[in-house]
Structure formats: structure tokens, C-alpha cells
Amino acid sequence: MSAPIKVPKGLYGVAVTETRIAKSDADGSLIYRGYPIADLAAHATFEEAAWLIIKGTLPTRGELDEFISSIGSRMEVSAKVYAVMRDLGRDSHPIDVLRTGISALGSVDSEPTVALQQASIEAKMSVLAANCHRVPRGSGPRGPKPAARFGANLLQMLTDREASEYEEWVFERVLMMYLEHDLNASSFTVRVVASTRADPYAAAAAGLAALKGPLHGGANEAAMDMLLEVRGPDNASAYVMSALKDGKKVMGFGHRVYKKLDPRAQLCKGYLRELLKKQGTDDSLYRLCDALENEMWERKKLPANLDFYAAPLMYSLGIEIPLYTPVFAASRVFGWMAHYDEQVAEDRLIRPDATYVGPTGLKYSPPGSG
């Protein structure tokens, strides 16, 4: 074998595979299967976008109806899975509970084919996401409403309240933004697992493990905690100055691909302004976000990312903060399964090399007495 190719740390700027699913670009654009995200957000439903991601084309009316009923018919989760989640106890973080729930699902689900296993995971991820905070705290699981839309159903299970039509529409847009993002850390993780020919449950559990970190999916919860800490737009400048001086990362800013603008963040920013107006709420949360965004751009030339604006949207929709990353997962699972399929079709084990820089030539000696 010839000498291994050396690549930058974090695989910065390295294209490791080909994909037809989505493409984010440094210029601030994002396409899903060729369609700009803004076009889909303006015109499509979540189910249409999810179908597009997993199947590659927009659905016909018949395919869409079938997809909606297929998701609805697979949402019921076994009591055995809830029992495992309940046993984890009230102090466990919801994203850990969700990951454990998906692992347990892999043991109890009896779907015979990969396609049916994927359909089961996609449908149940949202129900498990809605219940991963409640169940370990001793509450009974909330079930989906039959025949309700995916987004409206999830929002209802998360908040147990009737949302307005606009609130449901906005939540669907948040889910649509989270659906897919080419080779992000969790999708890459899913592809590594898929390349070993492990089943989709294992791949989804691995995706959830990668999603937990605050540099990836966990950033939405961290961003909301920060917004609550900063409190008002007048404190934005002092907060940013002090965080940067202390070498801290300001959560919800920066991106591996987008260096000027994250198109999803800008769409969500518009939804936040409109949502607060329609709810008749004071717009100080919007003004705080805007002030932080301006400060970060002025001082560090870092743009706000999706998590920065998805967080206050979910907050304004009444979703508890520890559920933000599980919500991300309930949507991203469709992207993960599309990557799973692409990787399986490629059928090539992902196994990179590493340059060994440790010691050599050491000789074993048994443990001494000292």
C-alpha cells in the first residue's frame, strides 16, 4: 500500500464521498435534492420534504397519502421500550434517553426488511422524542393523534396544548430546516456505521450519539440557555465581549460550511419576528437575538447558525429546552436514513488510516512491586 494521504484535522474541506441528497455551500445556499431550501420552506409540507430527502423526488399525491398513513400506522411504541426508558430515571438527559430508546427499539422491533425498519425508526423517533423527558420522570407516554400531520402531532405531544395554525406552520418549518445537511457529524457517523453493514437501528443510535454534543445538535439547547442568561438586547454587547475575551464559544454561531450566512438561520429569524407578532408577545427576544448576531458579526465575523434561531422559536412555541435536540433528531432521522441507503449502495467499509506518532520498540516487563 502506498503512503496514506494526509488530510486536515476535522477533515476540513475534504470530500470523502459523493452524495445526491443535499448540498450546503459557503455562499449561504442549501439545496435538498436540487431544490433550494427557501423554495421548499415557502411551498412544501414537512412530509413532502421528508419524502424528497429519502426518495429523491417530490411525491405524487398518491405517494404522499401513502407516506402519511405509513408514518401514522407505525407510531405506536412497545411498552418494553418505554420500560427501558423509564428505568433510566429522572436525572438522565432526554437525548440519552432517546438514544437508549432507539437501541431498545432495535431489540424489540420485528420488521423483516431494512426498508420497513427504516420506516419504523422514522415514525417512532418523533414519538420517542416527545416522551424522552416525561417517561423517565414517571409520567405516562403521550401518544400521537391518529391522522394528524407530522409536525402538528409532534408539537402537540411535546407541549400538550392546542397550537395556532401559524404556530404549527412555523414548527413544521423548523423541522424542515433540520431535515438534512449533507455530511454533518451525525450523518457521517451514520454512514460509518452503515458501511459496516450494521442495521438502521444501530446507525440511528450512533447518529443520536454524535448529535448530543454542543458543537452539533446540542447547540440549540446551549443557545437557549445563553439567551436566557443574557436576558435583554442591552446586555448583548457586554456578554459577547466578555465571552470572547475568556476564549468561550458563543453557542449558535459559526459553521464549518457557512462562513457568511446560514440560510436556515435567516429564514428562522423571519419566522421568529412574525411568530412573536402573531402571539402578541413583546419582541425583546427577537431584538436580543438580532443584537447578539450583530455583535458576533462585528467582533468575530461569525454568522448565526440554525440552532441560534431554532432555539428561540421552540422556546416561543412552549417546548421545554432539554427537548430541543430530540426535536432535531425527530427530523434529521429522515436525512440519516437517506445517507444510510446511499452508503449501503456504495458498499465500501469506511476505515481510514492514521499516522502513528507514539513510541515503538518497547519491551514488556511484568508489574513491579514499586
In whole angstroms, the minimum distance from the beta carbon of 220 to ligand COA comes to: 8
Whether 43 is catalytic is: no
Q: Which of 262, 307, 339, 341 is catalytic?
A: 307
Whether 255 is catalytic is: yes
Q: Which is nearer to ligand COA, 11 or 79 (CB)?
A: 11
Q: Which is nearer to ligand COA, 105 or 219 (CB)?
A: 219
Specify which residues 30 forms β-bridges with: 24
In whole angstroms, the minimum distance from the beta carbon of 253 to ligand COA comes to: 4
In whole angstroms, the minimum distance from the beta carbon of 23 to ligand COA comes to: 16
Establish if 219 lies at the interface with ligand COA (CB under 6 A). Answer: yes
Site for ligand COA in 3-22 (CB under 6 A): 10
* Mutual angle of helices 114-131 and 46-55, in 10-degree steps: 140
Q: State the maximum Cα–Cα separation within the chain, in Å, rounded to a whole number.
A: 76
Site for ligand COA in 99-158 (CB under 6 A): none
In whole angstroms, the minimum distance from the beta carbon of 323 to ligand COA comes to: 17
Establish if 249 lies at the interface with ligand COA (CB under 6 A). Answer: yes
Site for ligand COA (CB under 6 A): which residue of 33, 124, 191, 255?
A: 255
Q: Which is nearer to ligand COA, 119 or 265 (CB)?
A: 265
SS (H, E, C) the chain: CCCCCCCCHHHCCCCCCCCCCEEEECCCEEEECCEEHHHHHHHCCHHHHHHHHHHCCCCCHHHHHHHHHHHHHCCCCCHHHHHHHHHCCCCCCHHHHHHHHHHHHHHHCCCCCHHHHHHHHHHHHHHHHHHCCCHHHCCCCCCCCCCCCHHHHHHHHHHCCCCCHHHHHHHHHHHHHHCCCCCCHHHHHHHHHHHCCCCHHHHHHHHHHHHCCCCCCCHHHHHHHHHHHHCCHHHHHHHHHHHHHCCCCCCCECCCCCCCCCHHHHHHHHHHHHHHHHHCCCCHHHHHHHHHHHHHHHHHCCCECHHHHHHHHHHHCCCCHHHHHHHHHHHHHHHHHHHHHHHHHHCCCCCCCCCCCCCCCCCCCCCCCC
Tell me the C-alpha distance between 53 and 33, whole Å. 7
Site for ligand COA (CB under 6 A): which residue of 256, 273, 287, 299?
A: 256
Binding-site size for ligand COA (CB under 6 A) equals 16
Q: Which of 255, 262, 339, 341 is catalytic?
A: 255
Q: Which is nearer to ligand COA, 86 or 173 (CB)?
A: 173
Whether 93 is catalytic is: no
Cell of 233: 438586547
Site for ligand COA (CB under 6 A): which residue of 72, 151, 200, 254?
A: 254
x/- site string to ligand COA, residues 289 to 308, per CB under 6 A? -----------x-x--xxx-
In whole angstroms, the minimum distance from the beta carbon of 260 to ligand COA comes to: 13
Closest residue (Cβ) to ligand COA?
254
Q: Which is nearer to ligand COA, 55 or 300 (CB)?
A: 300
Q: Which is nearer to ligand COA, 295 or 307 (CB)?
A: 307
Establish if 215 lies at the interface with ligand COA (CB under 6 A). Answer: yes
Establish if 28 lies at the interface with ligand COA (CB under 6 A). Answer: no
The answer to whether 156 and 129 are in contact (CB under 8 A) is: no
Instruction: List residues near ligand COA by CB under 6 A.
Output: 10, 215, 219, 249-256, 300, 302, 305-307
Known catalytic residues?
A: 216, 255, 307
